């Protein structure tokens, strides 16, 4: 969640790059420590019992875990590099509008938000945004009665490549319990033998 953008501004890109650096140092440092440990185990003299098989297996296991940690560090570097490039390209373009139903809103640790949207075309779309950009949706969701089914339809403008929300331009709430009651009464009236 820390590698999600809340906006395409310089301060947000700097925050992402600093977070990336911290995560890469953590994962790559762990990989380096395991490589040193594995080298030490491989160079250790055999135990007095004469069998070096457990130490050799432990050394190979440390190498394998080091490779996994290095791959995670590389994936973080590549992912954040792609995200930053897309955000810089999006600055020169215009945000595009889309309409859909909000299916989830998750708070990120650095203050941004991640929103899952089901578009009118049936596609799932994950978007990120700042607290300010998503404030209307958060306020509306806070006012809704918990436990009652509803559908929150929104119109947002977002940057296409980085999938960062620029602005919420429209919103409508539909209480689904009234829709369910209306459809149930229609079904009862259309059953054979009923007036």
Domain boundaries, the chain: 10-91, 96-180
Strands 124-129 and 150-159: unpaired
**Residue owning tokens 């006012």:** 143
| Number of Cβ within a 10 Å radius of residue 129 | 27
pLDDT attached to residue 147: 66
- Burial per residue of 152-170, b for 16 or more beta-carbon CB atoms within 10 angstroms, e otherwise: bbbebebbebbbbbbebee
Assign 111 a pLDDT band (cuts: 50, 70, 90): low
Q: Is 24 helix (H, G, I), strand (E, B) or coil?
A: helix
CA 101 to CA 145: how far, in whole Å? 18
Query: DSSP letters along 67-90, please?
Result: HHHHHHHHHHHHHHHHHHHHHHHH
Fold of 96-180: OB fold (Dihydrolipoamide Acetyltransferase, E2P) (2.40.50)
Assign 51 a pLDDT band (cuts: 50, 70, 90): low
Q: Six-digit token pair at 18?
A: 């600093």
Of the ranges 70-84, 102-116, 174-188, which one carries the lowest mean pLDDT score? 174-188
Residues of the chain above pLDDT 90, percent:
21
Residue 80 contacts residue 20 (beta carbons within 8 Å): yes
pLDDT in tens, 117-169: 998 888 998 988 888 888 888 888 777 666 667 788 889 999 988 888 888 88
Of the ranges 74-78, 136-140, 189-193, which one carries the lowest mean pLDDT score? 189-193
Q: Six-digit token pair at 178?
A: 């009234």
Residue 115 contacts residue 102 (beta carbons within 8 Å): yes
CA 64 from chain centre, in angstroms, equals 28
Of the ranges 27-31, 39-43, 183-187, which one carries the lowest mean pLDDT score? 183-187
More confident residue, 131 or 182: 131
Dihedrals phi, psi of 114, to nearest 5 degrees: -115, 130
pLDDT attached to residue 145: 64
Asked if pLDDT for residue 91 goes beyond 80, the answer is yes
Strands 113-119 and 164-175: unpaired
Dihedrals phi, psi of 13, to nearest 5 degrees: -65, -40
pLDDT attached to residue 29: 95
pLDDT attached to residue 33: 94
Closest CA to 151 of 118, 186, 126, 122: 118
pLDDT attached to residue 195: 44
pTM beyond 0.75, yes or no: no
């Amino acid at each position: 969640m820390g590698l999600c953008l809340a906006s395409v501004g310089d301060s947000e890109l700097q925050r992402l790059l600093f977070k990336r650096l911290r995560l890469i140092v953590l994962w790559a440092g762990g990989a380096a420590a395991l490589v040193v440990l594995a080298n030490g185990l491989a160079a250790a003299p055999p135990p007095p019992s004469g069998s070096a098989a457990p130490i050799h297996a432990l050394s190979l296991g440390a190498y394998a875990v080091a490779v996994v940690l290095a791959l995670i560090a590389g994936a973080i570097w590549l992912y954040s590099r792609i995200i930053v490039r897309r955000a810089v390209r999006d600055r020169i373009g215009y945000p595009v509008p889309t309409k859909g139903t909000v299916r989830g809103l998750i708070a990120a640790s650095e203050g941004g938000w991640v929103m899952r949207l089901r578009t009118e075309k049936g596609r799932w779309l994950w978007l990120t945004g700042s607290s300010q950009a998503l404030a209307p949706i958060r306020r509306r969701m806070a006012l809704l009665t918990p436990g009652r089914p509803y559908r929150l339809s929104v119109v947002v403008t977002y940057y296409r490549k980085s999938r960062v929300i620029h602005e919420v331009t429209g919103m409508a709430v539909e209480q689904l319990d009234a829709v369910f009651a209306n459809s149930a009464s229609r079904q009862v009236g259309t059953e054979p033998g009923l007036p």
